[in-house]
Structure 1
Amino acid sequence: MTGVDEVRRIETDAAPTRFARGWHCLGLAKDFRNGTPHQVKAFGQELVVFAGADGKINVLDGFCRHMGGNLAQGTVKGNEIACPFHDWRWGGDGRCKSIPYARRVPLRARTGSWPTLEQDNLLFVWNDPQGNPPPVDVTIPIIEGATRDDWTDWVWYTTVIEGAHCREIVDNIVDMAHFFYVHYSFPTYFKNIFEGPVATQLQKGVGREDARPQATQSGVAKMVGNTSVASYHGPSFMIDDLTYHYEDADVESVLINCHYPISENSFVLQYGIIVQKAAHLDDPEGMARKMGDFIRIGFEQDVAIWKNKARIDNPLLCEEDGPVYQLRRWYEQFYVDVEDVTAEMTERFEFEIDTTRPNEAWRAEVEANIAARASS
């Protein structure tokens, strides 16, 4: 068969064994500041995360360079992590600071130390396969409400995804149609902008009345839609300025969607939300929990898809599917050496989907479903 009759075949390369260059969020900083070491599996290896007496959180390679002891099973002593095997003391800079039974520390007593960033009550670690430190112009924007008293604390969720590369979740930023079929809402406006290390999704949406009730919350009326400005800053950390519109008021929130790779085919997905303590909200903390639980349902729907889908490098697209190939070109910049990043990967690109046809079809489907339910 040739031409239009030729069967489209799925092309699939193996998932990259290299891990993306950039800042990756490991979670809430307070969870690592409890005086004990924490074992983290990331970037294809074992890491140990610990906070010293000075409060600084450190990330080191997970195994002692002396005889291979697991540092995560050791003890925090002062500003150092002590190996459980022979008590070698490792500082956050990767240098062995002391060996209690030895006259001197060997000059080559060094282990891997990972650059960290603590910001907005979150802990980040820098990964670069070339071993370079983070450039000063590669940053994570400060989230204004994260440390302010007029916003709630983070409501935070963590789940491990097995059998999928983290590219699957990044693809979502251009995938308009899945919001209707998977998440029971549909976008009335959808646009993407890629530039440098930032990929943005601009979206306005409404819920599907046939799939889930448009619930009210204490102190506010029926929800009528939402506005979202969601940007990946680097390969794995997305900040979403998310506003829920109710009949008589808005609820302002910030949603974080982030991940770090465990291996080439598994990753840790994390997400969290904070809500502004507006005067019309009777219980802002309760609102944040309800919103977080609702968002958790959405991510669980994604996970069910990822676990059963094929990896596909040549997706067959229609006009309303969004700039999947352009997004993947943007994403590639984090998987090549810095000197191999091309202008095609980083130059500004904008794409707005015409939502007229999708919304006509989706509205008709929703109304038909509601009518069928009413007559049954």
Structure 2
Amino acid sequence: MTQYYTWHHLLCTNLFLPCTVPDFAKIKAWPSCEINGMILVWYHCDGIDPVWAVPEQEEITSKEWVYRGHTEHFVNAHIQEIPENAADFAHLTFLHEPVFMSGVDLRYTHSKLWESVKHCWKGEWQPEPEPNKHCSQLVVKHSLTVFGKHFSLMDFAVRARQVGPGLVYLTFEHAFLGRGIILQSVTPVEPLLQHVVHRIYYQRSMPAVIPKFILKVECIQFERDIMIWNNKQYLSKPLLVKEDSAILRHRRWFAQFYSENSTRFTFQKGGLDW
């Protein structure tokens, strides 16, 4: 038999049956929003209400930019490892300089077959001031060289805006390839297992093959990072050189997303709790 209930402010106030409503008949409310083609739920270990809002991407809402695909990955890493990449400029040369056609396996990306074509990256990361201290920005300038000669057609800048600990707006604009955005979301599944999704929205007037190609290239570069993350250990106090100072600044910025009651992961042999 199907039972029907009347709910008011998350409490069960009436059952269409001849019985009394129990005091425990209630459900938990999770603050949420539907924006940019996603449903996002706010979680705070202390039960605090949202202290900042997820920004709306007007081009997605207006349908000027349309959905062109997505990728999904599960990454065996600490959640902080993934956004911390924005401040790790040293890895850009080794991981992301080899042309995307050389693949994702870092054992072979520096092969002589593709060494004549290289991606060149220059990045700068900065936290944003109040009232957006929960945000930070990475600006990356990209260029391409073929046999050491600059190929200016592939010059473009990418702006990656981190919003909170698990959401990134990666926007780009090119004179011929058009404008669009990749939305990255990172959701913890376990202490050291993250579900990462990249969704691309691109201007409607451009052929779908262009954003699908961009998403494929981004996927190749991201999977190079995954090969590192899946085989490294997160250290709370790493030994860093002067050139890695941006990583320390990023860690100080990211610390705002923890509280005294945040779950701390400590390795215990044989333990299954988290």
TM-score by length of 1: 0.55
Number of aligned residue pairs: give it: 234
- The question of 1:335 aligning with 2:272 is answered no
Distance 1:113 1:90 in 2: 16
Q: Structure 2 vs 1, CA of residues 183 and 113 (structure 1 numbering), >3 Å: closer, same or farther?
A: same
1:160 is aligned, of 65, 68, 74, to: 74
1:147 is aligned, of 61, 76, 94, to: 61
Contact 1:93 1:113 in 2 (8 A): no
Counterpart residue type for residue 206 of structure 1: S
2:234 — aligned with what? Answer: 311
1:198 — aligned with what? Answer: 135
Distance 1:91 1:116 in 2: 19
1:52-75 CA-to-partner distances (Å, cap 9, x unmatched) read xxxxxxxxxxxxxxxxxxxxxxxx
2:38 — aligned with what? Answer: 122
Give structure 1 stretches of 5+ with no counterpart: 1-85, 215-221, 339-376
- What displacement does 1:111 show? 3.0
2:162 — aligned with what? Answer: 232
Contact 1:99 1:105 in 2 (8 A): yes
Q: After superposition, where does 1:11-160 map in structure 2 within 5 Å? A: 94-96=10-12, 103-135=19-51, 138-160=52-74
1:320 — aligned with what? Answer: 243
Distance 2:144 2:5 in 1: 55
2:173 is aligned, of 222, 225, 243, to: 243
Contact 1:194 1:330 in 2 (8 A): no
2:121 is aligned, of 164, 177, 187, to: 187
Q: Structure 2 vs 1, CA of residues 96 and 160 (structure 1 numbering), >3 Å: closer, same or farther?
A: farther
- What displacement does 1:328 show? 0.7
- What displacement does 1:93 show? 6.0
Counterpart residue type for residue 254 of structure 1: I
Counterpart residue type for residue 167 of structure 1: Q
Q: Which has the larger radius of gyration?
A: 1
Contact 1:92 1:113 in 2 (8 A): no
Distance 2:8 2:161 in 1: 31
Q: After superposition, where does 1:225-374 map in structure 2 within 5 Å? A: 225-244=155-174, 249-278=176-205, 281=206, 283=207, 285-336=208-259
Contact 2:36 2:56 in 1 (8 A): yes
Q: Structure 2 vs 1, CA of residues 328 and 337 (structure 1 numbering), >3 Å: closer, same or farther?
A: same
- What displacement does 1:209 show? 4.4
Contact 2:6 2:15 in 1 (8 A): no
Q: Aligned to 2:154, what secondary structure does the other structure show?
A: strand
Contact 2:67 2:199 in 1 (8 A): no
Q: Aligned to 1:127, what secondary structure does the other structure show?
A: coil
Task: Tell me which moved more, 105-114 or 312-321.
Answer: 312-321
Q: Structure 2 vs 1, CA of residues 189 and 232 (structure 1 numbering), >3 Å: closer, same or farther?
A: closer
